[in-house]
Chain A
Amino acid sequence: MSSSPLGLYVHWPFCQSKCPYCDFNSHVREHIDEARWRTALLAELDHAAADTPDRPVATVFFGGGTPSLMEPATVAAVIERIGIRWGFASDPEITLEANPGSVEAGRFRGYRAAGVNRLSLGVQALDDAALKGLGRGHSAAEAMAAIALAGAIFPRSSFDLIYARPGQTPAAWAEELDRAIAFGTGHLSLYQLTLEPGTQFHMRAERGDLVLPDEDTQAALFEATEERMTAAGFATYEVSNHARPGAASRHNLIYWRSDDHLGVGPGAHGRMTTSVGRRAIARHRAPETWLAAVERDGHGIKDDSLLTSDEAATEALLMGLRLDEGVSAERFLRATGQTLWDVVPADRIEPLEIAGFIARDEASLRATRAGRRVLNAVIAALTG
């Protein structure tokens, strides 16, 4: 049996309304036949289990969309089926993404009872005007209540904030961040607002109706965030993720470390290292297409193929360099079958090392703080 953990992602593609900055596979539907969806998810789990190595599942992640719109019974059924098909490793991490609206909060206890032991809340901002600007349906008060409730109900919790918002000053962000830290939550995901193509925000920005802080301000905000979090006892273990000791998301670490993961539900992706290479599985993205496929074929797989060795290596670097621990040579070899130092030769590393963007020892290659701030360019330079 492999020593690497197996993670399982479950996608719930529905939301109450579509946020103007969001390019996730999330959709608004008037009516959802939840029983039908539950059956389909369970069917796809059965299919996935039959087709993947018999290993216990270490982590489960319900993501979206808005999984907190699922009935707790659906969540319970999915967790139960995973237990039956794969079995759980000891002390599994089971996360559910939740929106902080009051309706969702009412279900928190149900999720806990179903087996969820970590809640990730999409708070986004701690100020009503900012929430409105982001097109969110909840208030700051609701968000704060949800944070407190999550802390009381779940052994572990986390929440997300979006910063570098239009008009946001470094001082305002520092103040908001201090309030966030004060909740005592063990984990925070702090994302710089990104203009994703196809979103309303993107369109508004193209028209000039929405202006993000300039590059220098963004850089300053990014650096100040890490400094502030470090001072508060959090490790910035990934570009946008901060954890108190022991509180890192084990599920997300699976992605960044190129360990194995399976995904079920519309648009879910999976990666598995097999004896013949790294296998990539993608499922139909449109909810209805996926549902019809599962009902017809027992699964919604759209593409199931092996990555080329170049692709596998690129992915391992792309993901691994986001972590403060960097890319471990050993994990790289396990995931891609290639030697890290062959893929990234010294002559590519050296100029970046001298400039202070990259650091290395025999066991790993990692981006420095300065390197992480410009990680896309560093990765492009490393991969040639």
Chain B
Amino acid sequence: MTPQARIRNVAIIAHVDHGKSTLADRLIEICGGLEAREMRSQVLDSMDIERERGITIKAQTVRLAFTAADGETYQINLMDTPGHVDFGYEVSRSLAACEGSILVVDASQGVEAQTLANAYQAIAANHEIVPVINKVDLPAADVERAKQQIEEVIGLGAEDAVLISAKTGLNVPAVLQAVVDRLPAPIGDPAAPLKALLVDSWYDTYLGVVILVRIFEGRIARGLRVRLMATGAVHEIERVGVFTPKPLLVDGLDPGEIGFINAGIKAVAECRIGDTITEERRQAAQALPGFKPSQPVVFCGLFPVDTSEFENLRESLAKLRLNDASFHYEPETSAALGLGYRCGFLGLLHLEIIQERLEREFNLDLIATAPSVIYRIHVRAGSVLELHNPADLPDPSRIERIEEPWIKATILVPDTYLGSVLALCQDKRGAQQELSYVGDRAMVVYRLPLAEVVYDFYDRLKSVSRGYASFDYQMDGYEEGDVVKLSILVNAEPVDALAMIVHRARSEARGRAICVKLKDLIHRQLFKIAIQAAIGGKIIARETVNALRKDVTAKCYGGDITRKRKLLDKQKKGKKRMRAIGNVEIPQEAFLAALKTDDR
């Protein structure tokens, strides 16, 4: 057992791509957590999708043994966190399990929007922060500028910042030494009743439902009967272990330690993240503060391309949810798309990742409907309705007003691109809150309607700033909005899956653009097809797909029969991937494209 004085719990936080996972690799190597042959870059990014995209999605914890300058061996519990704004929730949970953070700043980029957001979270969590300036090997590295920004923008002392290259390993041991020297050791009474924070839980093929815990008081060990304080459920601890990063079973965990348990829990849904685990016999008087449950902010419908795959989708969602408690889903029936699910996500990247994982890991072909935010509908009768699906909007006559969610966005951008970024925010109905300078970079704070950000904000921000702007946001309440439901009709039948809520000022342009796009994507058929956009019963745009003029095989004799039959069968299979609205076949791409339509 490691004495508390020689335990350090630390989270690595940074902006996207500033090198957190690479630094974790080096730290694991230095402490001999893995043999050289077991090592690969960003070894903690274990999901295929993380490796391919080169980003961390899920926070990972490793226990390392570090021999410090004083000759003592310290137990370092290291948590690598994701940098992307959608996964801020992962960061906040990791912070709650640690006493301090390593704040990594890319020397060539300086402080970016998520550097700020994550640093503020760490400060709010009372963390001791070790600033680390990374990538000093790069020719574009500007250590002085990075230091200055840490001091001016974040307000942290940077004179003791550790200068490293996580890539080459330069000076990396100094990071561990700084953690040992500057971070406080955890404190907690081993004799008190158990008080452990349920930090995370997921499903592992080998280990089953794994629960990640941080012990604050008492001791957890095999055979102990524990109670989950929020749900009241009682379970017996079957296994206790730590990740080195390989799973390693241990006898128990003491105050200050982080590790995992298995406790005969079959479904991840049974463990509420942020809950406090105590003993069945000796209950802790008070639960830990825990954390707010994650709230999905973006919703979309997911439907199998092939309707017969619905069962597969249902099972896959359930399995995926075991690994990611932050996405939500509920059954949805669409006249156009059939049976599917309305799913809630932490943001657009999260949406994209879940969709991609469903397609790859579970072999599904999906149609996703346009992402929508949650509108609050104040109905005349006096009640308030949370609208997750535009198709469910009540009749306008019953609506008193509609409120839409707003965000507070922080954008850091080089001065040269400031003008275009401001124009973009303005175009997105934003209201400027602050504008300040950090060297040659501007920091703007804007309030924006979330719906506008969900639409194409990221892409446009990237293009107007040539990729130099960084962006972070927080939810910032609801406000009344002049929004309308835009319906798309095909041969006079409304297509529910194409309905969307848009700001009145944009509705006509959007409607026209979607009609034009659909006209391109819907191929000629036996009958003429009318594509219309409507707002509250009024048609605002119309396009026509003319009927097929000629489609007949010129020669078909004895030797052609087999081939022509197979061709027809193949076509029929392709048709399964289409959706029929009345007698019109709409290809899957039409649903996708409609939501990517540019209305400028």
Contacts and interface: CB of A to CB of B under 8 A. Distances in A.
B550 A373 contact: yes
Contact of B552 (A7, A269, A351, A373): A373
Contacts of B583: 351
A67 B555 CA distance: 18
Which of the listed residues B526, B527, B572 has the most CB atoms from chain A within 10 Å of its own CB?
Answer: B526
Contacts of B562: 269, 280, 282
A381 B549 contact: no
A380 interface: yes
Interface string B547-562: 0111111111111011
A355 interface: yes
B335 interface: no
A263 interface: yes
Contacts of A7: 558
Given A240-B555, A380-B571, A255 B561 contact: yes
Interface string A198-228: 0000000000000000011011001000000
Contact of B557 (A252, A267, A357, A383): A252
A156 B571 CA distance: 39
Given A271-B561, A318-B561, A377-B526, A372 B552 contact: yes
A374 interface: yes
B454 to A, nearest CB: 38
A314 B569 contact: yes
Contacts of B550: 215, 218-219, 222, 373-374
A239 B553 contact: yes
Interface string A1-43: 0000001010100000000000001000000000000000000
A309 interface: no
B565 interface: yes
B568 interface: yes
Interface string B367-408: 000000000000000000000000000000000000000000
Interface residues of B, number: 26
A11 B549 CA distance: 35
A295 interface: no
Nearest to A221: B550
Contacts of A377: 525-526, 548, 551
Given A216-B549, A378-B526, A380-B568, A269 B555 contact: no
Contacts of B549: 215-216, 218-219, 373-374
Interface in B84-105: none
A369 B52 CA distance: 55
Contacts of A268: 558-559
A319 interface: yes
Interface string A319-356: 10010000000000000000000000000000110010
A374 B552 contact: yes
Contacts of A322: 556
B418 to A, nearest CB: 45
Contacts of A274: none
A269 B554 contact: no
Given A215-B549, A315-B561, A380 B572 contact: yes
Contacts of A271: 558, 561
Interface residues of A, number: 50
B504 interface: no
A315 B559 contact: no
A57 to B, nearest CB: 14
Given A194-B553, A318-B561, A318-B564, A374 B548 contact: yes
A168 interface: no
B556 A319 contact: yes
Given A191-B554, A192-B554, A240-B554, A374 B526 contact: yes
A80 interface: no
A259 to B, nearest CB: 11
Contact of A381 (B526, B552, B554, B558): B526
Contacts of B553: 194, 239, 375-376
Nearest to A193: B554
Contacts of B526: 352, 355, 357, 374, 377-378, 381
A279 to B, nearest CB: 13
Nearest to A270: B558
Contacts of B525: 377
A379 interface: yes
Contacts of B569: 314
A9 B558 contact: yes
A383 B568 contact: yes
Contact of A374 (B551, B564, B568, B572): B551
Contacts of A245: none
A284 interface: no
A377 B553 CA distance: 11
Nearest to A381: B526
Contact of B527 (A270, A315, A355): A355
A193 B557 CA distance: 16
Nearest to B583: A351
A193 B555 CA distance: 10
27 contacts: A9-B558, A191-B554, A192-B554, A194-B553, A215-B549, A218-B550, A219-B549, A239-B552, A255-B558, A261-B558, A263-B559, A267-B559, A269-B558, A271-B558, A271-B561, A315-B565, A318-B556, A318-B564, A373-B549, A373-B551, A374-B552, A375-B553, A376-B553, A377-B525, A377-B526, A377-B551, A383-B572
| Cβ-closest 8 pairs across A and B | A219-B549, A219-B550, A375-B552, A191-B554, A376-B551, A218-B550, A374-B551, A192-B554
Interface of A: 7, 9, 11, 25, 63, 191-194, 215-216, 218-219, 222, 239-240, 252, 254-255, 261, 263, 267-271, 280, 282, 311, 314-315, 318-319, 322, 351-352, 355, 357, 372-381, 383-384
Given A268-B559, A269-B558, 14 more contacts: A11-B559, A194-B554, A215-B550, A218-B550, A255-B561, A263-B559, A314-B565, A315-B561, A322-B556, A352-B526, A374-B550, A376-B551, A376-B553, A380-B572
